[in-house]
Amino acid sequence: MIGITEITSRYRDEPDNALATIPSVFYLLVNAAASILALVSVRFFGWNFGIVDETVAHWIQVLVAGFGAMALLRTSIFTVQVGEQVVPYGPSRFLEALMSSVDRAVDRKRARERAVTVSEIMKDVSFDKAYQALPAYCFGLLQNLAQDEQDKFAKKIVLLVNAEMNLRVKSLLLGLSLMNLVGEKVLETAVKNLGDDIRSNPGPSSPPPD
């Protein structure tokens, strides 16, 4: 459960895709194996933590083994000074290497899908019209987006506005940045709801009533 939480928290837009990669499965198996090994050790040495009831003792053993193994895997035994950086070494270093593999695997898997998706969603969106309205609307749809994440996004938008590149490219980058925060479905819904207000070529207006 802790391993799943760690992975899904890193890929909020598509957590299911993150869990469906081989490195992710291996990462979860390593966590599970550590917990099982800890539980075997606890029961081998007969640690019941002073609890007489056998059923309750078994559940306590499971909890202690699980959380104990997770804590051990995330500890550093010693640190090494490399230049100006302090590098920790221990079980946590191994988990960091595994998580880096997960990051690369998910990125490779999602890159083409995201390119196609954002191109389709943002195909008629004008960057000049959307770079303020679209993020504001997307963030308004969400209830729990942290303020610091919104502030970081605002800084990205400032850089994007001042960048010397094609407006179509800016529009795609705007869509990708929003997709990272709010997910594909929210972005698609927001673009659809804003409609002509952010389109490059608004559709024909309705004829006046007779």
40 and 93 together in one domain: yes
132 and 86 together in one domain: no
The reply to whether 101 falls in a domain is yes
The reply to whether 110 falls in a domain is no
The reply to whether 30 falls in a domain is yes
81 and 127 together in one domain: no
Which stretches of the chain drop beneath a pLDDT of 70? Answer: 12-14, 77-88, 202-210
Residue with tokens 């050790």: 41
> Which range of residues forms the domain containing residue 141?
122-197
What's residue 87's pLDDT? 65
pTM of the model: 0.60
What is the SS3 assignment for 78? strand
93 and 180 together in one domain: no
What's residue 195's pLDDT? 92
What's residue 189's pLDDT? 93
What's residue 51's pLDDT? 82
Report which residue type is found at 111.
Answer: A
What's residue 204's pLDDT? 54
Last residue of a domain, one of 49, 71, 105: 105
26 and 99 together in one domain: yes
Tally of domains within the chain: 2
- For the chain, how are helix, strand and coil distributed in percent, rounded to 5? 70, 5, 25
The reply to whether 208 falls in a domain is no
What's residue 174's pLDDT? 94
126 and 67 together in one domain: no
Q: Which class for 205: exposed (0-12), middle (13-18), buried (19 or more C-beta within 10 A)?
A: exposed
The reply to whether 210 falls in a domain is no
